Amino acid sequence: MNQETLKTALQDLPLGGFRFYEQIGSTNDIALNWIEEGGRDFSLVVANEQISGRGRSGRSWQTPPDSALALSLLLLPSISETKNISLFTGLCALALVDTLKEQYNLKAEIKWPNDILIEEKKVAGILVEASWEGDKAKGIVLGMGVNILNTAIPDDGNLHFPATSLEESLGQKVDRTKTLHGILTALIKRRKALGKAEMVAAWNENLAFRGKQVEIKGGAEQVIQGELLGVNQDGSLRLDTAQSIHFGDVHLRPMRL
């Protein structure tokens, strides 16, 4: 995977711009700066190696060379999309689930709020960030990391949740460029339904641990237990305790009874 092969493979997509880095600190940082420089909608940043990427709540997300997909997509939201910023994580998650099903016949699930699981192991993570001007979102960055080859799986000591890769799940090598093209194509399709009932319904259909007892740990040692019922229209999580869990520093785990 290099700049020329990617440009050729993605030429049929309506990219607003494209930047490729052999090695970079964080693709999200590049995309956020690109917003300030006047980057156009659907501009893409891809790195072959990411050495200081971020996960949710500032956790590190490193991408070893030649092993994974590390990408950030810059979006300039419409007025209606700005009203549904909390749903962009779900949008990315659904695009990933769609791609894994259509390209590889893999059943993937969304672990709320921002992880993709295959057989209850994490294969991808999402980090959505925005650049604001007052109360107006100037741009949104959809950051994604996907474990393609086994060499992308972190060491056990660096895992917060069991992990896997597409190579491990399929038992064969996987083409990163093909996977990237599929994700971007699925995002274009799914973006049209942002904020609509059909998107939330699809999120619920692909939600990991739905109907099961889960434990959610939040800040200040807060622990909430209950049956996971689904996500609400705003993307928050709904439990049978009548509580809604919103995005933040939360850790969701299934309860092993």
For residue 34, give the nearest of 24, 44, 48, 47 by alpha carbon. 44
Specify whether 220 is located in the same domain as 185.
Answer: no
Q: Stretch 90-107: mean pLDDT, rounded?
A: 97
Q: Which residue has the tokens 């659904």?
A: 94
Specify whether 244 is located in the same domain as 152.
Answer: no
pLDDT exceeds cutoff 80 at 41: yes
Specify whether 52 is located in the same domain as 153.
Answer: yes
Q: Would you place residue 123 in the very low, low, confident or very high pLDDT band (cuts 50, 70, 90)?
A: very high
Q: Rounded mean pLDDT of the chain?
A: 90
Specify whether 130 is located in the same domain as 238.
Answer: no
- Backbone Cα Rg of the chain: 17
Q: Would you place residue 1 in the very low, low, confident or very high pLDDT band (cuts 50, 70, 90)?
A: confident
Q: At what angle do helices 88-104 and 176-191 cross, to 10 degrees?
A: 130
- Asked whether 113 and 89 are in contact (CB, 8 A), the reply is yes
pTM for the structure as a whole: 0.92
For residue 136, give the nearest of 102, 87, 85, 180 by alpha carbon. 85
Quick: pLDDT tens for 203-249: 999 999 999 999 887 666 678 888 999 999 999 999 998 667 876 55
Specify whether 169 is located in the same domain as 240.
Answer: no
Specify whether 241 is located in the same domain as 150.
Answer: no
Q: Facing residues of 228 across strands?
A: 239
In this structure, which amino acid lies at residue 188?
I
Q: Would you place residue 116 in the very low, low, confident or very high pLDDT band (cuts 50, 70, 90)?
A: very high
Specify whether 228 is located in the same domain as 120.
Answer: no
Q: 145 burial class (0-12, 13-18, 19+ CB within 10 angstroms)?
A: buried
Specify whether 40 is located in the same domain as 162.
Answer: yes
pLDDT exceeds cutoff 90 at 92: yes
Task: CATH number of the domain at 236, please.
Answer: 2.30.30
- Asked whether 144 and 92 are in contact (CB, 8 A), the reply is yes
Specify whether 22 is located in the same domain as 141.
Answer: yes
What's the structural domain count of the chain? 2
What is the extent of the structural domain holding 198? 3-205
Specify whether 227 is located in the same domain as 139.
Answer: no
pLDDT exceeds cutoff 50 at 32: yes
